[in-house]
Structure 1
Amino acid sequence: MSPTHFRCDVSDGIATLRLDRPDRKNPLTFDSYAELRDWFRAQPYDDTVKAVVFGSNGGNFCSGGDVHDIIGPLTKMSMKELLAFTRMTGDLVKAMIHCGKPVIAAVDGVCVGAGAIVAMASDLRIATPEARTAFLFTRVGLAGCDMGACAMLPRLIGQGRAAELLYTGRAMSAEEGATWGFFNRVVDRDALEDTAQEMARRIAAGPTFGHMMTKTMLNQEWSMSLDQAIEAEAQAQAICMQTQDFTRAYNAFVAKEKPVFEGD
């Protein structure tokens, strides 16, 4: 795919995505929502991409749904049209979860509304000290339960902290986000891009089939009992043991070499 409503650069197995309206702090539109959903939906079938970096642009990550292009039109839609829209936004999150590739959010500056959801739906999150993350939905008269926020955010930062952010819509600082477990690390703005790309390169050099299984289990086991999770992991690991990458790792260990994984 060659997207038209966001930037996508693929190099050495790493796809770097950026919303591309820096003058507006990179808001989402109906078109960019749909195109991002479709791009992530296509990823399970694209072996050229091994890891994804969702980056910032112009000092900001994403300012959420565009006030003029989305919020205004929503006030004039029928219930059927509104439900189609909210299902589409949720489908973006589901597509990110089921894309089979680790996703790293590189968050700088404004990261609010649906932008905060995109960061939340990523597997790993790196921030700058300038990052400000807010789930703004109650501040525009809506509920905080948008795009899976009430299910996913408490699992990342705890029920009480999630409730505070979702009820008040206040911004979470980068320091808070790191302390609470939302961000994996905080780095200087000048180091954000390199840090995210280095993390992506390290992941891309690993066993991509194994990473797909890891991501699948991380998400599927939310709804499993412990016994079910242990059994599911036994089956997943047995499948991974049939891959050539598992054999390569063993042979490299015996030869005292570093394994070179090929994803099969």
Structure 2
Amino acid sequence: MSGSILEIESRGAIEIVTLNRPEQLNALSPELAQALLDYFRALVDRLDVRVVLLRGAGRVFCAGAELGSEAFAEGGPGRNQRQLAMQRLYSGIVRAMRACPQPVIALVHGAACGAGFSLTLAADVRIAAEDARLNAAYLRVGLGGCDMGSGYLLPRLVGLSVASELLMTGNFIAAPRALASGLVSSVVANEDLLDAGLAMAQDMLRASPMGLRMTKETLGLTIDAPSLEAALTLEDRQQCMLLSTADHETAVEAFRTRSVPEYRDL
């Protein structure tokens, strides 16, 4: 998909997904939003892809939704209905990112504002460049600070106090504080951002394919588990399923012989 508004590069079991509207600071137009939604939805049936890296072309990760586009419905009869349909297109990306079985690593450089901020929150892991700055820009354009999952995801990453500050002010959080708050996993030099993402992806690929998929699924479920007992039950079932796979036997043998396992997703 080279040359499109959403570029896809395959590197074995890793795919690098690039928001490719650099002249518009990768602002999320309805067309780009639809391309992202289609891509992440399709991943459910693409088990050959095991890890996804999400990044932006040019100077920034994503400056937010494109304010001049039809993402903001014009007035008149039926506006609420048209706006709700557009909201669901954008929020659908977050649903699809959380639902796809592949871990998503966001590589954040420059600004990640509004919709760009929410895309980073929807990723499983965030790695920031030294110049990364993130904010819930929704508040700055007369909207609520909670949009595209930010009100749900951000408190679970940084706690309610910091989340309240960021969502109720729209202030930027720079890379050093994002790291200290647990919003990002690491901060690297801009020129090292892709290499850092690829290295983490390679670490994930050491897991068995089904083990990696089920770890993401179980994390997504247990974070909202009503009790420790419920979480333990989910984990017990996951482990029993994985103990029956051929890849488990392969991994145990590789561990004993200190060799590299060759997984077959069986």
TM-score (norm 2): 0.94
Count residues with an aligned counterpart: 263
* 8 Å Cα contact 2:20-2:56 kept in structure 1: no
Match of 2:163 in 1: 162
* 8 Å Cα contact 2:5-2:21 kept in structure 1: no
Q: 2:228 aligns with which of 226, 229, 240?
A: 226
Q: Secondary structure in 2 aligned to 1:117? A: helix
The code of the aligned residue for 2:179 comes to: A
* 8 Å Cα contact 2:4-2:20 kept in structure 1: no
The code of the aligned residue for 1:262 comes to: R
Q: Tell me whether 1:117 sits opposite 2:118 in the alignment.
A: yes
After superposition, the C-alpha distances for 1:107-160 in whole angstroms (9 at most, x for unaligned) are 000111000100011011111110010111111111112111111100100101
Offset of residue 2 of structure 1? 8.5
Mapping 1:71-110, distance limit 5 Å = 73-76=72-75, 78-110=79-111
Match of 1:129 in 2: 130
Question: Does 248-257 or 173-182 show the bigger shift?
Answer: 248-257
Match of 1:56 in 2: 56
* 8 Å Cα contact 1:3-1:35 kept in structure 2: no
* 8 Å Cα contact 2:65-2:115 kept in structure 1: yes
Q: Give aligned-pair identity as a percent.
A: 33
Match of 1:185 in 2: 186
Q: Tell me whether 1:258 sits opposite 2:260 in the alignment.
A: yes
Q: Secondary structure in 2 aligned to 1:220? A: helix
Offset of residue 29 of structure 1? 0.8
* 8 Å Cα contact 1:13-1:50 kept in structure 2: yes
Q: What runs of 5+ residues in structure 2 fail to find an aligned partner?
A: none
Q: Secondary structure in 2 aligned to 1:9? A: strand
Q: Secondary structure in 2 aligned to 1:68? A: coil
Aligned counterparts of 1:33 and 1:65: Cα–Cα separation in 2: 9
Q: Secondary structure in 2 aligned to 1:67? A: coil
Q: Secondary structure in 2 aligned to 1:54? A: strand
Aligned counterparts of 2:73 and 2:116: Cα–Cα separation in 1: 18
After superposition, the C-alpha distances for 1:198-243 in whole angstroms (9 at most, x for unaligned) are 1112213421211111111111113212111100110011111111
Coordinate RMSD, CA, aligned = 1.7
TM-score (norm 1): 0.95
